[in-house]
Structure 1
Amino acid sequence: MRSLPAFPDLRAFLAWAEARGDLARVDASVSLRHEMTALQLAALRAGGPVLRFDAHDGPKMPVVTNLFATRERVAAGLGLTPDQIPGFGAFLASLRSPPPPEGMRDALSRWPMLRAALAARPRVLRHAPVQEADLPDLSALPVQTPWPGDGGPLITWPVVITRPHGAGELSRYNLGVYRAQVLAPDRLILRWLAHRGGAAHHRSWERAGEPMPVAIALGADPATLLAAALPLPENVSELGFSGVLRGARTDLVAARSVPLMVPARAEIIVEGWVHPGETAPEGPFGDHTGYYNAVEPFPVLRVSRITCRRDPLYLTTVTGRPPDEPSVIGEVFNDLALPVIRAQIPEVLDLWLPPAACSYRMAVVKIDKRYPGQARRVMMALWGMLPQFSYTKMIVVVDGDLDIRNWDDIAWALATRMDPGRDVMLIGRTPMDYLDFASPLEGLAGKIGLDATTKIGAETAREWGREMRPDPAHEARAAELLAGILP
């Protein structure tokens, strides 16, 4: 299934990108404050390469950005080409609920599935590259301050590793990408929202009245980064899932100062403790909505040790109004998740999360409509399917004859197949990202569903119009004549 080799670490992926001319080294000195962000975004919007900054005004450590700034590189992080993403999504869907084999031949054909299951089992090492050296404190990291209104330096690609109180099994670990504000050389603020796994683990340690061990992997391998960013079901381990994505087992090692296992081939590991009740005001910082978020209290991590590779690399990104790197990743995840969605809601033919709508805030769904009320059923199923969809505040449902990635088709369906008095479903006081300033209450907002499908049965008392379409033979003849007229 994989057309590219497994990338055991960030360096292997960078070597692959450089070999194909997809990595550029920036020799000019660039400021970590705001200037690097401008160059990152300009390169991303031009479909440009991974950027490596060897000269900047921060601590002496190379900075790597724009790792996943193109669909091709996101797919490559999974070991695939972009056209293989839908097939890999179907494979992942089959891993969730594989059908029983039909005879020995079928059982043998399932070997890739068995191999993927084995790859989900991490491997524990006694010695690891990420523990070859130590850094004195956070001031040794070249941390960006992305936007002019930001409250300080911000770590933007941290894979934050936590576990619940009283549970040491690797299957109970959570990996999440939560931004981390540098507060002092030995202090970080971890911004995890209440519905995220890290926050749930934090609550379990606070209930026990004990400090919580936390590790942060910086510069992890592509599969670990992508697994941590995926909106996986709560019972799916990101550590295990990264092995499936990588096509090879995840190497772990025991952290030096906290009771956690950490990625052995990351570039840097920040270890520390979050003490009960200790918070600090975080922000403001520019966010994916294109606005600065409000200043709010979040837990403080007291750093206890920082281990690293010899000559480590610092990986960073920038978040803002799309297009940005997270929105590019979201486009690929959209295609990857479609088979899983279709396994739960079979009538869904396609689903698009427009990147310009901050990805998950709006969804356009194409269905195979067969009965009255089906579009509303699909809306409700999507809102309740994954935690990420609970933040989707607008769903537009259209018929199977339209291209949902074509705004003209969507506008036509809304204008001709949707009546505002009949085909709009409004729901109030539902969960919402509190960064959505349009919501009347923090964390609570309404949702709207627009049924832009052809109305059938009890949905309408009128005979539906007949759509105009040219004769295919005439279209072919027109194309033939036009070819002789146009240069």
Structure 2
Amino acid sequence: MRRLPVFADLRAFLAHLGGQGQLARVTAPVSLRHEMTAVQLAALRRGGPVLRFEAHDGPDMPVIANLFGTKARVAAGLGLELDQIPAFGAFLASLRSPEPPSGLRDALSHWPVLRAALRARPRVLHHAPVQRQGRAGLDALPVQTPWPEDGGPLITWPVVLTRPHGGEAADLSRYNLGVYRAQVLGPDRLILRWLAHRGGAAHHRSWQRAREPMPVAIALGADPALLLAAALPLPETVSELGFSGVLRGARTELVAARTVPLMVPAHAEVIVEGWVHPGEIAPEGPFGDHTGYYNAVESFPVMRISAITCREDPLYLTTVTGRPPDEPSVIGEVFNELALPVVRAQIPEVLDLWLPAAACSYRMAVVRIDKRYPGQARRVMMALWGMLPQFSYTKMIVVVDGTLDVRNWDDIAWAMATRMDPARDVMLIDRTPMDYLDFASPLEGLAGKIGIDATTKIGPETSRDWGREMQLDPAHEARAEALLAGILP
């Protein structure tokens, strides 16, 4: 399936993108405070290349930005081209519930699945590039302050590695990898902002119950497969370390951290090691977020740094989070395509699904179904809300049917205007889980949901004769195109 090479580290990925004309060096001086944000977002909105900032007002270390600023680069990070994304989504769906092979021939046809399982097992090294050098403190890293009202410098692409209390460092299946905001408080302290439902927070609670300090490691500048595995909303039962091997097409290589009992990515650019002590918290923020608003100041755990190791001539990877379009929303668009086969495997009547990037990538969903029975649209809504954790934060679902394009706002508006009655076809649910960053919700972490049935009504759904949709004969439409081709420019 893979047409692209294996990218063992960030440098290999950048070399590949450079060969494709997708890497630009910025040699003019740029400030880490706010100005670099403006340059990154301007490049992303133009569909521009990865940026390598050579000159800035921070420590001497090149800054890499806009890495996943286009869908094509997100796909490349998965080792794929854009046209391979749907097939890869189907492959991932098969990994969730593979069918047992019925014989030798069938077993050989399942070889890609078996090979992916082998690649999911990480390999442990004794020596690693990321431990060639050391840094004295966080002030040796060129950390951005992205937005004008931000509370301080913010590490924006950290892959945070944790494990639960009672586990062993070698038990990699129990590790959690997450991308959490990390506010720099000083050379040896930062704040980890993990929300209560995330894996890192669950691990933290287990260490707090034992009243013991929790070991934490942060990988900066990891390879694209590890970055995407940590960023994608995977099921809780799927190991991000193992899944990164499936994405990469090669086993993830790890090494023992120097000062904490954890295994860390051997080919990252920088590893930050440290401890989170029970009860030690600090006010975090405010920071600009994916909603397009600044968050309120809240307290989160403090990590005390015990060591920083890095590669020779390390690179610092950064990003900016804001109102879409931003890198997370671009990644979310690709996730939309990867998720569709997974959704269809559990809800077969779903034909298409769109999570509009403008709606913060997950707060609204438009679904097209194969309408077969009364009440089907409501069943699909409830199934989606309960299927994956990220859909529990989807506050609005619009269901359509027929041949409508769910990515076309005109089709969506037409369906809602002609197939939906507000009193009959709107389902409201109160006090359901919601991202507490949603300022529109009346209660923190709890909000309502709305489902809109904009499908053709059948059976007991209506007492009236339903209108017949007007359509021209496809042959006549083709004839019209042929006639006009020689007339119109």
The 1-side partners of 2:13 and 2:377 are apart by 42
> Secondary structure in 2 aligned to 1:422?
helix
User: Is 2:41 the partner of 1:41?
Assistant: yes
1:230-269 correspondence runs (5 A): 230-269=232-271
Match of 2:183, as an amino acid?
Q
The 1-side partners of 2:402 and 2:191 are apart by 47
Aligned to 2:405: 403
1:184-203 correspondence runs (5 A): 184-203=186-205
Aligned to 1:308: 310
Shift of 1:10: 0.3
Can you list the C-alpha shifts for 1:329-367, whole angstroms capped at 9, x where unaligned? Answer: 000011011111111111111110000000001000111
The 1-side partners of 2:226 and 2:302 are apart by 24
> Secondary structure in 2 aligned to 1:292?
coil
The 2-side partners of 1:101 and 1:159 are apart by 36
Can you list the C-alpha shifts for 1:246-298, whole angstroms capped at 9, x where unaligned? Answer: 01000000000000000000000000000111100000000000000000000
Q: Percent identity?
A: 85
Within the candidate set 356, 360, 385, 1:358 is matched to 360
> Secondary structure in 1 aligned to 2:308?
strand
Shift of 1:103: 2.7
Match of 2:62, as an amino acid?
P
Q: Residue 349 of structure 1 contacts residue 400 of structure 1 at CA under 8 Å; is this kept in 2?
A: no
1:320-469 correspondence runs (5 A): 320-469=322-471
The 2-side partners of 1:72 and 1:152 are apart by 32
Aligned to 1:132: 132
Shift of 1:106: 1.8
The 2-side partners of 1:400 and 1:69 are apart by 33
Shift of 1:477: 2.3
> Secondary structure in 2 aligned to 1:198?
helix
Can you list the C-alpha shifts for 1:409-466, whole angstroms capped at 9, x where unaligned? Answer: 0000000001000000000111111111101111111000000000111111111001
Aligned to 1:167: 167
1:105-144 correspondence runs (5 A): 105-144=105-144
Query: Alignment length, in residue pairs?
Result: 487
Aligned to 1:476: 478
The 2-side partners of 1:314 and 1:28 are apart by 18
Can you list the C-alpha shifts for 1:360-419, whole angstroms capped at 9, x where unaligned? Answer: 010001111111111101101111111111110000000031000000000000000010
Aligned to 2:90: 90
> Secondary structure in 2 aligned to 1:15?
helix
> Secondary structure in 2 aligned to 1:160?
strand
The 2-side partners of 1:400 and 1:125 are apart by 54
The 2-side partners of 1:311 and 1:477 are apart by 63
Match of 1:404, as an amino acid?
V
Match of 1:217, as an amino acid?
A
Aligned to 2:78: 78
Match of 1:332, as an amino acid?
V
Aligned to 1:53: 53
Q: Residue 394 of structure 1 contacts residue 448 of structure 1 at CA under 8 Å; is this kept in 2?
A: yes
CA RMSD of aligned residues (A): 0.7
Match of 1:233, as an amino acid?
P
> Secondary structure in 2 aligned to 1:485?
coil
Aligned to 2:226: 224
Shift of 1:480: 2.2
The 1-side partners of 2:481 and 2:11 are apart by 51
Task: Give TM-score, length-normalised by structure 1.
Answer: 0.99
Q: Residue 439 of structure 1 contacts residue 445 of structure 1 at CA under 8 Å; is this kept in 2?
A: yes
> Secondary structure in 2 aligned to 1:2?
coil
Gaps of 5+ in 2: none
Shift of 1:24: 0.1
Aligned to 1:282: 284
